[in-house]
Amino acid sequence: MHFSLYIAKRYLRSKSTNNAINFITIIAIIGVILGAGSLFIVLSGFAGLKDFTLEFSSIVDPDLKAESSVGKSFILTEEDLSKLNDLEEVALFSKSIEERVAIACNDKNYLATIKGVDEHFKDVVNIESKIDHGNWLSQNSNHIVVGWGISNNLSLGVLDLSKSINIYVPKPGKGQITSNKKAFNTVNALNVGVFYINETLNDTYVYASLDLAKNLLSYSPNQVSAIEFKLNEGVDETLAKQKIQEALGSKVVLKNRAQLNDALYKMLNTENLVVYLIFTLVLIIAFFNIIGSLIMMMLDKKRSLSTLFNMGATIKDIRRIFFLQGSLMSVVGGFIGLGVALIVTVLQKVFDLVMITPSLAYPMTIKIENFFIVFITISVLGSIASKIASVRISKSLIKGY
């Protein structure tokens, strides 16, 4: 093994007498460098996009959320509240109600989701930081806060008393509808703020006080749709989840942020995987240059290989020489590529070289796992390419000189 490695390193460092072989070898190494660098940059770019996308959704998503396991709502008893208040893992929790509603403003109508929240909601999630115009709502009032999309569709301003905003929801119950007035519960509201988070949330949500939502939906005083939790720093999420589940029982299902955005996480992970596979295919094509370079090197070194064979080196030893040479080319090229990619990524983070919009730079996130992914990919492909080339060594090739 030491003999083969020594010869492989000598072959890697030394130049061939044939300039064409030197050129092919340089092209092969450059291909590995560019492939490794490109893969790392793309993975860092997608990691940055993932963090950038999830940053917006996490603003309105709590650490944990308890939703009804059956139906749209559940009853929260005083005993349940007492148990939750006694949990050391929970810093704060907020009760909320969600339901699809119709909003009418003058001659415009819009379907949205109303979310009634209590006074603790703004402390559980940092919603106030996303208020673009106006202020957050007050409890025990008819105030609402709408997203930018809803505001544009209904031409809603802030504290515009000249426009009447009515929120409608079908009344619960059975039987034939004889009158439109009897078919819907309705409340009159005043818009006091506009939030901007992302397009989906901006076009979907209307925030209101918990009491307004209860009155609109004819809920009982202790009936809610969900409870949202903010955990204390350093708390084990799994343990907190278990204790909350024990406190509330089987009437709720607990979800963390990843589970609340399950479709988004799946989409981002799928995109990341597809891009990785595409660039791996590009790397596979680049490694054909390694195979060609090694085969050309074998033909150029036939005299030396014959000498080594006559001195006692086995075919296995000679094959190992070129296997190690190809593997070293791959590893060295991979390290150089990772170094160049790291510099490019840092420059993008510091100097905003590539912009998505005039005010928004392309986000990049450097993750240690991406280093290992790229290095392992390069190492595995390099080993396979080197193995394919090295098996070309045979007695007839060596003795034929």
Q: pLDDT (tens digit, 9 = 90+) per residue, 166-218?
A: 999 998 767 666 666 778 899 999 999 999 998 889 999 999 999 999 999 99
Nearest Cα residue to 201 out of 89, 392, 330, 54: 54
For residues 41 and 349, give the distance between their C-alpha atoms in angstroms, rounded to a whole number. Answer: 12
Tokens of 161: 């008393």
pLDDT at position 175? 66
Please say if the pLDDT value at position 305 is more than 60.
yes
For residues 371 and 290, give the distance between their C-alpha atoms in angstroms, rounded to a whole number. Answer: 22
pLDDT, average across residues 264-285? 92
pLDDT at position 331? 95
Q: In which band, very low, low, confident or very high, does the pLDDT at 21 lie, cut at 50, 70 and 90? A: confident
Write the CB contacts of 39 (distance below 8 Å, at least 6 apart in sequence): 276, 279, 280, 283, 341, 374, 377
Q: How far is CA 367 from CA 24, 38, 48, 122, in A?
A: 33, 15, 10, 32
Q: Are 160 and 184 in contact (CB under 8 A)?
A: no
pLDDT at position 198? 87
Q: How far is CA 303 from CA 6, 24, 397, in A?
A: 18, 20, 10
Q: In which band, very low, low, confident or very high, does the pLDDT at 303 lie, cut at 50, 70 and 90? A: confident
Placement of tokens 């796992």 in the chain: 369
Mean model confidence pLDDT for the chain: 92
pLDDT, average across residues 20-43? 93
Nearest Cα residue to 260 out of 125, 389, 145, 103: 125
Write the CB contacts of 136 (distance below 8 Å, at least 6 apart in sequence): 122, 127, 128, 145, 192, 193
Question: Among residues of the chain, what percentage have pLDDT more than 70?
Answer: 97
Tokens of 141: 């009032």
pLDDT at position 299? 87
Please say if the pLDDT value at position 126 is more than 80.
yes
Reported as a single tens digit per residue, the pLDDT across 4-19 is: 888 888 888 888 778 8
For residues 272 and 274, give the distance between their C-alpha atoms in angstroms, rounded to a whole number. Answer: 6
Nearest Cα residue to 300 out of 6, 24, 2: 24
pLDDT, average across residues 139-155? 95
pTM of the model: 0.80
Query: DSSP string covering 149-196, please?
Result: HHHHHHT--SS-TTS-EEEEEEPP--S----HHHHEEEEEEEEEEEE-
Least confidently predicted of 68-82, 233-247, 253-267 = 253-267
pLDDT, average across residues 123-134? 93
Q: Are 308 and 318 in contact (CB under 8 A)?
A: yes
For residues 126 and 16, give the distance between their C-alpha atoms in angstroms, rounded to a whole number. Answer: 65
Reported as a single tens digit per residue, the pLDDT across 347-379 is: 999 999 999 888 889 999 999 999 999 999 999
pLDDT at position 174? 72
pLDDT, average across residues 323-331? 94
* Greater model confidence, 171 or 226: 226
Q: In which band, very low, low, confident or very high, does the pLDDT at 311 lie, cut at 50, 70 and 90? A: confident
Write the CB contacts of 203 (distance below 8 Å, at least 6 apart in sequence): 147, 149, 150, 153
